[in-house]
Amino acid sequence: MKRLLLILFILSQIPALAQEKKFFDKMYFGGGFGLNFDKSYFSFNLTPYGAYKLTEKFSVGLGINYQYWNDKLYEVDANNFGGNIFSRYRLARQLFISAKLEFLSIEFVRNDKTSYREGFYNFPVGIGYVVPLSKYASFYLIGQYDLLYDTTTKNGAYNTPWILEGGFGVGF
C-alpha cells in the first residue's frame, strides 16, 4: 500500500515538472563586456543578466555590473559595481524598447591617492536591435538616454546622458 501511494505521489508530480520546464523556457540570459586599454590605461567591465518573459513580447530581468580600471600614469586602481532591474518590450522580431533602473557604487580617487565611494542611480531608456547569430544566440545593441542625468551634479560612471550598450544573449 505504501508503494502504491508513493507511485501515485510521483505520478502526480509530472504536471508540476512540465510546468517547471515551461518556466525555464521563458527565461533568457546574456551580458556585455568591455575592454579598453593603451600604454597607460586599462579598464574592464562585465554586465551579466537574467530575465523572464512574462509574455511573448514583454520581459523583466535583473543584472549586475562590475568595472575595474587602472591608470598607470596616475598610479590609480578602482573597482565599481552595482545592479539593475530592467524591462524590455519587443516591437518587432529584431526591435525592442528598454527601460532600466540601475544603481552603481563608484570609487573616486583623490589627489593624495586615497579613495571614497559614492552611489548613483541611473534610469536609461531606449531602443534596441537584436541580430540573431543562431537559433538561440543573438547580439544586441541598445541606444539609451538616462532620464536621471543631471548636468549640475556628478553622474557617476557616465559623463553624458547618452549610453550605448551592446552584448550577447541566449534565448531572447
CA pair distance 148, 42, nearest whole angstrom: 28
Q: What is the pTM of this model?
A: 0.79
In the chain, domain spans: 27-170
By mean pLDDT, which of 112-116, 123-127, 137-141 is the weakest? 112-116
* Matching CATH number, 27-170, of 2.40.160.20, 2.60.40.3080, 3.40.50.720, 1.20.120.1200: 2.40.160.20
Q: For the chain, how long is the longest CA-to-CA vector? A: 78
Read off the pLDDT of residues 77-115 as tens digits, 9 standing for 90 and up: 889 999 999 999 999 999 999 999 999 999 988 888 888
Enumerate long-range contacts of 123-127, CB under 8 Å, 24 or more apart: 123/99, 123/147, 123/148, 124/98, 124/99, 124/100, 124/163, 124/165, 125/97, 125/98, 125/99, 125/100, 126/97, 126/98, 126/163, 127/95, 127/96, 127/97, 127/98
Average pLDDT over residues 6-31: 68
Q: Note the pLDDT of residue 17.
A: 47
pLDDT single digits (tens) 3-14? 655 555 655 555
Q: What is the pLDDT of residues 41-62, one digit of tens each?
A: 898 899 999 999 999 999 999 9
